[in-house]
Amino acid sequence: MTVEEAIDKILDSELDEEHYSELPAEFWKNEMFIITCLENDHHIDAVFNYVDQSMWSNKKFVLSLIELLKTNEWQLEVTLNKVEPKLKKDKDIIKALK
């Protein structure tokens, strides 16, 4: 299965948290895949448990998460706890949080 096929299955409600352990690790380095999971009400903790560690230092990815989750203070806090400490000091990240 490709990332694109997996995204289609998420959108068709055929792929959810129960399938995560079966997915290739590279899916968890794909911003579109991760954001699609969250946009389709997959549990944030389940998603974040699989997200590749490298994504937490990816500024574009973190900014996308902030934009998606900024209306939910609890989820935003969970997100920020995962972000690379140096990135939390980035001016664009700080601006996005305001």
Q: What is the DSSP letter of 89?
A: T
Q: Are 67 and 96 within 8 A, CB to CB?
A: yes
Residue 18: per-residue pLDDT: 96
For the purposes of burial, counting CB atoms within 10 Å of the CB of 6, is it exposed (0-12), middle (13-18) or buried (19 or more)?
buried
Per-residue pLDDT of the chain (98 residues; tens, 9 = 90+): 999 999 999 999 999 999 999 999 999 999 999 999 999 999 999 999 999 999 999 999 999 999 998 887 878 888 888 999 999 999 999 999 88
